[in-house]
Amino acid sequence: MGSLSKLPWKISRLYCHSHLPLVAGYWKGSISKEKYKKGRLSTCTHIRSIGTSVPVSRSQVIPNSKSPETPLLKQLKARIKLSGPLTVYDYMKEVLINPVAGYYAAGQDMFGSQGDYITSPEICQMFGELVGVWVYSEWYKLGSPKPLQLVELGPGRGTLMQDILRVLQQFGEAGSDLSVHFVEVSEELSCKQEEKLCGVVQSNKDDYEKELYFKKSTTTGGSPVFWYRHLGSVPRSFSVFLANEFFDVLPIHKICKTEDGWREVLIDIDEGDGPHHLRYVLSRAETPATKVFIQPEETRDEIEVSPDAAVLCEELASRIEEDGGIALIMDYGHDGKDSSTFRAFKNHALHDPLCEPGTADLTADVDFAHLKGQIQERVITYGPVTQSSFLTNMGIEFRLANLMKHCHLDEQKSLISGFKMLTDPLKMGTRFKFLAFFPAAVKDFLKKHPPAGFYRYED
């Protein structure tokens, strides 16, 4: 059994309305400058009151003072001066994965009580264990093809994979018939993953210059583990693909309906008295994104589109179709109806995405309907179902009861609080969803034996 002393949960990266409708209203002229400024300031005061321990009285607020400049902000301003306002897509990409100063590249540990947010595998071991049982059961149903590749996109601290490997080992699956493939952008996190799975950090990336992976090691259970920058570099073979809170960090375009037609939300330098050095503006004319991504049947006034998420889903679907495999995507998201979910997290609190870029995580809810629409022809999809349904269908209550019998009072309290956090509809139970894909070739078989987690099995 893994460690029960997990970190206390404070806030997961849940949804809140960004102030974009207000911005769009201002640019469309339907909201006055005073009302717009009032809205922005009140949002900031709310965030600061959560995030800082030193309250500032109203008389201390210096007009025209702006949030501090980060090294990445200087780069972004230089780029905007040279080539004009950035799309939210370009901004998000730079802020998250700029190799020198991006949030995920900079090397800080963003998880846990000292970080910015916490994810389901970090909350409680039961999450990873039940995903591990799901992986084993679905792979076994498909005839347990070997060798098995476990591919995880954005593995964070490696906790989910560690829990899955422990479960597979209990079912007798370990060693060289099993290999782990991590797609990871952060060098620093790749070391944490290696330490967690292999017990030591030993690899020297210079050895791997000619390879598609940037690092290689061996898990404590004797399975090889490889690290890549892109899914495209992972060998083509039967694989189980996993992604927890990965799709939500992929960059999005934000597009708004105006009286003049669809316009894209852009990010420009704010030389006025706004609280930050950057501000949102609307494109004067249509952009490539407004031309390509708006469907004729669109009814929303504002949309967020992630082309990278759609391309990645296509790639997963084509690998599953051609090489065999299964994918499980776990993330917060909606069914194509939400429109304004772009937000930032810092120190377990909501944060203005334009404030001190590179120091906070940026995220947007996953549009599951859009992703399913991309791949429906090529693979069989199940879900999205809520995290609460998936974990309940997988027997989380039984697992909880079992673990409770074997641990001390403080560990029991921690387990119960983790269970509530993962399954309570007011916490992570409903907003987080699970979507699975299987090869179309097993459609009839799956009708008789539907995937665990997506259905409740009655005795």
Ligand X SMILES: C[S@@+](CC[C@H](N)C(=O)[O-])C[C@H]1O[C@@H](n2cnc3c(N)ncnc32)[C@H](O)[C@@H]1O
Q: Does 418 participate in binding ligand X (rule CB under 6 A)? A: no
Q: How many CB atoms lie within 10 A of CB 187?
A: 15
From 2-10, 66-74, 182-190, 383-391, give the range in contact with ligand X by CB under 6 A.
Answer: 182-190
Query: Quick one: 174 or 191, whose CB is closer to ligand X?
Result: 191
Q: Does 122 participate in binding ligand X (rule CB under 6 A)? A: yes
Q: Does 327 participate in binding ligand X (rule CB under 6 A)? A: no
The CB-of-237 to ligand X minimum distance in angstroms stands at 20
From 207-215, 242-250, 378-386, 409-417, give the range in contact with ligand X by CB under 6 A.
Answer: 242-250
From 206-214, 239-247, 394-402, 427-435, give the range in contact with ligand X by CB under 6 A.
Answer: 239-247
Q: Could you say which of 26, 89, 91, 104 contacts ligand X (CB under 6 A)?
A: 104
Query: Quick one: 157 or 276, whose CB is closer to ligand X?
Result: 157
Q: Could you say which of 80, 126, 189, 305 contacts ligand X (CB under 6 A)?
A: 189
Q: Could you say which of 98, 125, 186, 218 contacts ligand X (CB under 6 A)?
A: 186
Q: Does 97 participate in binding ligand X (rule CB under 6 A)? A: yes
Query: Quick one: 12 or 290, whose CB is closer to ligand X?
Result: 12
Q: Could you say which of 184, 194, 304, 331 contacts ligand X (CB under 6 A)?
A: 184
User: Residues touching ligand X: how many (CB under 6 A)?
Assistant: 19
From 50-58, 59-67, 83-91, 155-163, give the range in contact with ligand X by CB under 6 A.
Answer: 155-163
Residue nearest to ligand X (CB): 154
Q: Does 163 participate in binding ligand X (rule CB under 6 A)? A: no
The CB-of-148 to ligand X minimum distance in angstroms stands at 20
Q: Does 156 participate in binding ligand X (rule CB under 6 A)? A: yes
Q: Does 345 participate in binding ligand X (rule CB under 6 A)? A: no
Q: Does 155 participate in binding ligand X (rule CB under 6 A)? A: yes
Q: Does 185 participate in binding ligand X (rule CB under 6 A)? A: yes
Name the site residues for ligand X (rule: CB under 6 A): 96-97, 104, 119, 121-122, 154-156, 160, 183-186, 189, 244-246, 249
